[in-house]
Structures are given as structure tokens and as C-alpha cells.
Chains A and B, each alone.
Chain A
């Protein structure tokens, strides 16, 4: 096993701990935006898709890469925007429960 891969395994294991630590602090109030927002982050596969689509080898891997770019871009753009749309709706009301216009 190469050293770079070993480092990747370190990163994977340590990231798991970071993930558990920060995600468990997100209140249930925001669990839906958490899902859509983290979902957008998983669209990071776009980085891999871009490389696959743009390496210029031609042939099948470019086609697969391009489809992957479309998928991952929908994931990223849709995920972040819809999360923002939701979070925009969460408003605090100092008057304790007003909101009746």
C-alpha cells in the first residue's frame, strides 16, 4: 500500500470523528437543512467528475464523466439553494410568539 493511501485512510478515520462531533451538535430544529446542506457537500464528487470529463482521453470515460458532471452539479446547485431557501424561513421572534400580522 502506498504512503499516500495510508494518509487517506488516516484522513478518513479522523474525518469520521470530526463528523460525529459537529453533527451531533446540530439541533433537531435544523435537521432537514442539515440533510439538504450536507447532501450538497456530497456533491463534491463533482471534482472527480470534472477530472473524468476533462482529461481528454476521449471515448467512454468522457461521456460518463459528463453525465457525472450533470448529476453532481444538480446535487450541488439544488442542494445549496434549497438549503438557503429553507434557512431563510427560520426567523426568531423576540415578542415571544407574535407573528400574527
Chain B
């Protein structure tokens, strides 16, 4: 690589870092993304200009096909489908890392045929990172496809469990490491990288199928991290620092988001990955006392909303499923026009991936300064007239604070129950994902309005306009 190319790679790395830094504020985020994209363009152009590249026909074909698919996906994807989109993109990044690492192995082996080793001494670190890159990349692409299929409803989202699952996964991982070790000791064993790819594909499937649909935010974040790590490992294989830097940035980003998601659900990563929650939970019905819920009509709710001074809206994924974001924003607008203070309280796991609910509401033209995170708004509920809960359940279950035997126990929740009046818009009394009955519904200050979120809100808007 020429000095110029190496300096340009450094420039690209700086663009990535500054671009991510500018994501710390919604004001500068868009320019940040642009800067990061500019860095990418710089890295690509410099690579193409480098004398190492001799034939362009395949490259140009590949770039054109890839750009067309990328453009199509970016324009067409629905905001509700963003988790699948990110999942698929993660997977492709991981897949590319595997392919590059394997191609580099072929080059090192003398590039004659798959099963002939004509290479010389290869540095140990290169061999180790070839194994890691191939393994992580393959798990990422296969795991991401399974996760995306679950999110998209192509596969059943419930966990798929079978006996000895953890042990089998551990055995596969162990086998990969043994083969990796043998390969590092003797890189002429050409069949080992292929066997590792095969086993990693199996691991990609078996490690994601036991995870339930509602835990997919964690899996997608984790795959995000893997795709970065695979890229960083490929950087070691090729001795290319820009790959190492960017891959590492993405790897840490994914890990941090994974950690945030786990904390928001009050579960350890191990519990998410191995526990298979949601498969066969039988709610605790021993408590037995007959609890009653008071049903209200949209008319009752409308009159209270109109006379409120402050409202905090607590949206859950049910809102997005009902496609009711836009009507909700219309309702909020009508309330604001009457002088009501309206804000939104967003729980970290309100959507299907980190920050998802914010994107869904931004799409419905909700200004982002009204979207408050849990810690910012939780103390305000007690001074608020109405907490309007739409399509959310577990994230407002007060049982999480004190019911020690509940699967939700310890999970941070939004204090919706502390508002003077709580309105819950819900299809039915069915428990949320955790299978736990929600105490909030039975509180004296809670008004339950049953029905589809969209039609209920449309009703409310109609009444307010009169």
C-alpha cells in the first residue's frame, strides 16, 4: 500500500469516529452520517486506485449489483421493519468478512486449488484471525438471517427448544476451536476452514432459534457487534488498520447496545441467550382472588383528557402494530391546541430494537424534544394528570417493583401508575410477553378502554374535533 493510501485510510477512520461522535445529538446526527459516508467513499476510491487491483470488470459488476440492492432496500423498507433490515445488513457484513478471510487464505496457500497448499510461512496471528473471522462472520450471517426471519414472521417467533440444547451448542463451539487450533498448527489442512464454516453455520441456527421474538432486540444488537468484530478480524488477516478501527467501533457499539437492552429487561445476556423465555410460561393463577376491571368508553376518556393540564403518553409496540402513530400524533396536536402539555415517555424496550419507538414516532412527525427517555420522565408522572398507555404492557407493570416471584421483578418500569389518572388502551386483558398479569389494569385510578388502538384513537380525535 502506498503512503498516500495509508494516509487516506487514516482520514477515513477519523471521519468514522467524528461521524459517530456527531450522533450524540439529533441536531448534528445527519451531518455525522454524511461525514461517515464520505469517509467510506474515500476508503473505497483509494483502494480502487491502488496498484494492487488489476482487474476491474468483476468489481464494477459487484459494486453496481450491490448498490442497486442497497438502494432498493433503503428506499422501500418500512420503519416497523427496521430491525429485520438492520439484521440482514449485519448478516451481509459478516458474510463479506468470511468470504474475504477465506479468499485471503486461498491466496496465502498459493491460489492453485482449494486442496493444495503451496504457501510458505504464515504469521500465527494471521492464521488465528482467519479462523476467527470465518467463524464469527458465518455465525453472523446465518444467525442474522434466522433472527430476521423470526422478526418478519417467516419463522415462528416462539423459542424452539430441545433437550441438551446448551450442551450441543457448547460442543459445536468447542469443535470449532479444536479445528481452529489444528488449522493454526498446520494451515495446509485445507478442509479445516471449510469444516469450520459448516459448523459455524449450524451454530448460527442453533444459537438463535431458542431465543423468543421479544428478545430479538438483544440478538440484533449482538449480531451488530459480531459483524463489527468479524470486520476487525478481517483487518488483522489483511493487515489493514482501517478495517480494524471501524470493525472495533461497531463491535463496541453493538456490545454497549446489547448491555443496555439487557439492563432494560433486567436480564443477563446469558439468560436471554439460553433461557428460552416465553416458550411455556404458565402464569401464576394461585393468587386467585377475583379482580375486576372497569371498562370505560372513549367518551369518558375524551372528557378527562380535555380537562387535563398535562399528559404523558406511554407508547408500546402495540401502537406500531396497529399503525396508530399518526392518529396518536393528531390527538396530541389537538390536546396541545387546547393548552395541554403533552410529552412521551419511551421505555428502552418499547420497540423491536434499541431506539425503535423513537424512529416510529419521528416518522409520525412527533418532534424529538417531546420524546423523553425513562430516566428523564419517571419523576414527572406523579405530577401529571393523565398517563395514556397505548399498546404497552410489561413496561408499565408495577409488579416489577415488588412482586418477587414475577419474571418481571426488578425490571425498570415507567411510573405510569403514579399519574393521577391512568388510561390504558388495549385490545384485551391478555398478559404481556412476560406472561404476567398487570396490576396497573386493576388500580382505582385506571381507566381501561378496550379495542384496537387505531380505532380508539380515531374515535377520540373525532370527539375532540367537535
Which residues does A use to contact B, with CB under 8 Å?
A: 1-2, 4-5, 7-9, 11-12, 15-16, 18-20, 22-62, 64-93, 96-101
Contact = CB atoms under 8 A, between A and B. Distances in A.
A96 B369 CA distance: 8
A23 B358 contact: no
Contact of A49 (B100, B244, B334): B100
B53 A51 contact: yes
Contacts of B86: 32, 35-36, 39
B40 A40 contact: yes
Q: Which of B53, B227, B260, B359 has most A Cβ within 10 Å?
A: B359
Contacts of A81: 70-71, 74-75
30 contacts: A12-B236, A12-B244, A19-B249, A30-B23, A30-B26, A31-B354, A32-B353, A32-B355, A43-B92, A43-B93, A46-B96, A48-B235, A50-B44, A54-B56, A55-B53, A62-B58, A64-B106, A71-B66, A72-B66, A72-B92, A73-B66, A74-B92, A77-B66, A77-B67, A79-B70, A81-B71, A82-B74, A89-B359, A99-B367, A101-B333
A77 B355 contact: no
B409 to A, nearest CB: 23
A55 B32 CA distance: 33
A64 to B, nearest CB: 4
A38 B250 CA distance: 5
The 7 closest A-B pairs by CB, nearest first: A100-B333, A73-B66, A31-B355, A77-B70, A93-B367, A19-B252, A69-B62
A73 B62 contact: yes
B362 A39 contact: no
A86 B362 contact: yes
B24 interface: yes
A45 to B, nearest CB: 4
Contacts of A54: 48, 52-56, 58-59
Contacts of B231: 42, 44-45
B359 A33 contact: yes
Given A37-B36, A82-B77, 9 more contacts: A1-B124, A22-B21, A28-B260, A29-B26, A39-B86, A81-B74, A84-B34, A90-B358, A99-B365
Contact of B85 (A33, A42, A70, A78): A78
Nearest to A32: B355
A96 B332 CA distance: 11
B16 interface: yes
Contacts of B104: 48, 52, 61
User: Size band of the B side of the interface?
Assistant: 35 or more
A43 to B, nearest CB: 6
B98 to A, nearest CB: 8
A58 B230 CA distance: 25
A98 B63 contact: no
Contacts of B188: none
B306 to A, nearest CB: 15
A19 B253 contact: yes
A51 B62 CA distance: 13
A84 B329 contact: no
A52 B106 CA distance: 10
B251 to A, nearest CB: 7
A91 B362 CA distance: 7
Contacts of B66: 69-74, 76-77
A5 B69 CA distance: 36
B224 interface: yes
Contacts of B63: 69, 73
Q: Which of A77, A91, A93, A98 has most B Cβ within 10 Å?
A: A77
B244 A93 contact: no
B17 A45 contact: no
Nearest to B331: A100
B309 interface: no
B242 A47 contact: yes
B377 to A, nearest CB: 12
A75 B89 contact: yes
A44 B246 contact: yes
A40 B92 CA distance: 10
A97 B332 contact: yes
Nearest to A73: B66
A83 B246 CA distance: 17
B368 interface: yes
A71 B74 contact: no
Contact of B73 (A40, A58, A74): A74
B58 A97 contact: no
